[in-house]
């Protein structure tokens, strides 16, 4: 099965700054997603990263705060902009395999905003 990696694995950032998280899959995948897991909580879908077009955002998430890029079928980035302590979470990317109808997750990026 495909391998998915994220960078950085963790970071501590200052309020008001931005962080870009990278997600790399070792094979081409059609669908990639970004999720947020707030401390002690479940996962919430932020957006679907579409190759060659703008991301599709879920209710409560906006492009200005979470811009996403998907330049090709193996790579995506999520930027957390103008951060506040409320953005402290684990951010996970995932991809969907149409053949097995399964979704696999990256190891996550643990973000702490001070």
Partner 1 sequence: GNSVTQMEGPVTLSEEAFLTINCTYTATGYPSLFWYVQYPGEGLQLLLKATKADDKGSNKGFEATYRKETTSFHLEKGSVQVSDSAVYFCALSGAGNKLTFGGGTRVLVKP
Q: How far is the CB of 14 from partner 1 (least distance, A)?
A: 25
Q: How far is the CB of 42 from partner 1 (least distance, A)?
A: 5
Q: Considering beta carbons, is residue 13 or 45 the nearer one to partner 1? A: 45
SS3 label, residue 70 = strand
43 lies in the site for partner 1, by CB under 8 A: yes
Burial 64-81 (b: 16+ CB within 10 A, else e): ebbbbebeebbbbbbebb
Segment interacting with partner 1, rule: CB under 8 A, options 18-26, 67-75, 79-87, 94-102: 94-102
Q: Considering beta carbons, is residue 26 or 102 the nearer one to partner 1? A: 102
Q: Which residues contact 23 (CB under 8 A, 6 or more apart)?
A: 4, 5, 6, 32, 34, 75, 76, 77, 78, 93, 106
Residues near partner 1, by CB under 8 A: 31, 33, 35, 41-45, 48, 56, 58, 92, 94, 96, 101-108
């Amino acid at each position: 099965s495909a391998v998915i990696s994220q960078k950085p694995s963790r970071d501590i950032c200052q309020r008001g700054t931005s962080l870009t998280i990278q997600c790399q899959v070792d094979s081409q995948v059609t669908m990639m997603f970004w999720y947020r897991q707030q401390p002690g909580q479940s996962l919430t879908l932020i957006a679907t990263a579409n190759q060659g077009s703008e991301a599709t955002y879920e209710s409560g998430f906006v492009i200005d705060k979470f811009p996403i890029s998907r330049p090709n079928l193996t790579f995506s980035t999520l930027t957390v902009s103008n951060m506040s302590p409320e953005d402290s979470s684990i951010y996970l990317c995932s991809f969907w395999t149409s053949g097995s109808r399964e979704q696999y997750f990256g190891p996550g990026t643990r973000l702490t905003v001070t």
